Amino acid sequence: MIGFFDSGLGGLTILKEVVKILPEYSYIYLGDNARTPYGSRSQEIIYKFTVEGVEELFRRDAELVVLACNTSSSAALRKIQREFLQKHYSEKRVLGIIIPTAEEIGRFTNTREIGVLATEATVNSLTYQKEINKFFPEIKVYQQACPLLVPIIEAGEIEQKNLDLAIEKYLNQLFSKSRKIDTIILGCTHYAIIEDKIKKYLSLGIKVISQGPIIAEKLRNYLARHPEIENKLSKTGKRIFLTTEDSERVKNLSQIFYGEQIAITIINIGP
């Protein structure tokens, strides 16, 4: 199966786009809702939690795992690829979502100045800045940490006024760094479901980039280039959804993130 891991439910917005163009494959999704948000945690804890999620997906027959979480991708991906996989699962693969996004961002911006809205951990890692400048050295990258957004979204308070106030505050802080920003990356998968709210506070012509469509196309290209992985994958169209939190809130929110009703199973991971 193809596994997807996120600290919560945001990764469902990635999986939803992948399923649109690769519906024949079998997928297993795991959201660590019991321990979300990851964004304010230390790099060591993020790595530990992410490894536990990846291992759980491997145990449940995932051959390839996508870290559909910018925080995990920024804090844990490199170490997982270079150390954890080499030592324990040399035949399996773990992919992130920041580098694929960085590869494509140049085609969206005209001013060559972009903004990134993300968690504190993603911003502090400087991963977006480093990866974008590898491909596009001339692009200026301005980041804004948004620590309140994931807790508000995961609490199911999407229509509450405090979400709008937080969005407006973070955008004002971002544009205080540069008025030439013409493209904004939603550098946390949770933000995809509030994209319309974010656009409401932006000037006409500023592009907002959600990662789902980019990652879906990149995954299709990856599988085409790696038949040794693709040939191992099930093509029965099976869908499995897992969470670490037993609550009606998670069940209801999962349908909002994925766009349709799903059956989500509660499991425990970690020690």
Phi-psi region of 259 (alpha: psi -120 to 50; beta: other; left: phi over 0): left
Question: Could you give the CA distance from residue 14 to residue 189 in angstroms, rounded to a whole number?
Answer: 7
Q: Can 146 be counted among the known catalytic residues?
A: no
Contact indicator for 29, 242 with CB cutoff of 8 Å: yes
Q: Which one from 69, 80, 95, 145 is the annotated catalytic residue?
A: 69
Q: Which one from 62, 76, 121, 188 is the annotated catalytic residue?
A: 188
Q: At what angle do helices 11-21 and 248-258 cross, to 10 degrees?
A: 40
Contact indicator for 101, 77 with CB cutoff of 8 Å: no
Q: Please state, as a whole number, how many other Cβ atoms lie within 10 Å of the Cβ of residue 61.
A: 13
AA identity, residue 48: K
Hunting for tokens 């163009």 — which residue is that?
21
AA identity, residue 98: I
Give the active site residues: 69, 188
